[in-house]
């Protein structure tokens, strides 16, 4: 590995260190109390050094969100490559999102519940390139595949996609707010809920 490659590797490693520490700080303090000064103290570097990589906390949060959606997009791609049944592919995607929220509730809150405008308005979100947008379009395409195959009702793909997201979000929020109500049979509830909402949209 040459000097240039070593420098690039060091830069990327340090960027990941910043992101991982920022994620922990967002989880511990929340968006409102997060500050670049606290992050600098946490990683034992000056704020100026961090600003070479990220311009502010919104930029950091955007990168953290994009990291998750990059992984989610990869999973959607994998599901579509291994399953020939479009409804089963959609089912796997919904269960994956719920499973992430149940297993990593703190990260789920940071990524999907923070009070920020990392992706702007809906129009800005749709127009601006991002992994979140790509993931949403991939999920929407999965819904479209089901409709084209005659497996789901011919309803607007955005409506169905948002409905599925709301159902998944609802179960994760119930687990966050009232964990004792669902803890013992949460996986069974997740599967029953996904199967029920899919049946509701079937032709």
- CATH number where 37 lies: 1.10.10.60
Helix (H, G, I), strand (E, B) or coil at 37: helix
Last residue of a domain, one of 14, 32, 55: 55
Counts of helices then strands in the chain (DSSP H, E):
11, 0
Residues 13, 86, single domain; the answer is no
Residues 126, 172, single domain; the answer is yes
Domain extent for 48 = 1-55
Residues 93, 159, single domain; the answer is yes
- The span from the first CA to the last CA of the chain, in angstroms, equals 57
Q: What is the CATH number of the domain that holds 135?
A: 1.10.357.10
Residues 159, 124, single domain; the answer is yes
Residues 156, 87, single domain; the answer is yes
pLDDT at 1: 63
Q: What is the mean pLDDT of each run of 10 residues along the chain (203 residues)?
A: 75 93 94 94 94 94 94 96 94 95 91 76 90 96 96 96 93 87 83 95 92
Residues 100, 171, single domain; the answer is yes
Last residue of a domain, one of 31, 55, 79: 55
156 CB-contact burial (10 Å; exposed 0-12 / middle 13-18 / buried 19+):
exposed
Residues 79, 139, single domain; the answer is yes
pLDDT at 116: 62
pTM here is 0.88
Count of the separate structural domains present in the chain:
2
Residues 102, 157, single domain; the answer is yes
pLDDT at 115: 64
Residues 95, 182, single domain; the answer is yes
Residues 129, 171, single domain; the answer is yes
For 116, phi then psi, to 5°, come to -150, 175
């Amino acid at each position: 590995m040459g000097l240039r490659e070593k420098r690039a590797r060091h830069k990327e490693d340090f960027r990941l260190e910043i992101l991982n520490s920022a994620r922990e700080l967002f989880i511990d303090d929340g968006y409102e109390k997060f500050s670049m000064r606290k992050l600098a103290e946490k990683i034992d570097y000056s704020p100026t050094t961090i600003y070479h990589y990220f311009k502010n906390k919104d930029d950091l949060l955007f990168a953290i969100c994009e990291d998750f959606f990059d992984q989610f997009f990869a999973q959607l791609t994998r599901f579509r490559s291994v399953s020939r049944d479009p409804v089963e592919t959609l089912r796997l995607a919904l269960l994956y999102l719920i499973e992430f929220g149940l297993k990593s509730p703190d990260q789920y809150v940071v990524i999907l519940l923070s009070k920020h405008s990392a992706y702007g308005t809906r129009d800005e979100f749709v127009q601006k390139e991002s992994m979140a947008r790509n993931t949403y379009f991939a999920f929407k395409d999965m819904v479209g595949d089901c409709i084209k195959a005659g497996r789901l009702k011919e309803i607007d793909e955005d409506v169905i996609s948002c409905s599925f997201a709301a159902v998944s979000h609802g179960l994760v929020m119930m687990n966050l707010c009232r964990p004792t109500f669902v803890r013992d049979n949460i996986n069974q509830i997740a599967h029953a809920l996904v199967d029920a909402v899919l049946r509701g949209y079937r032709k």
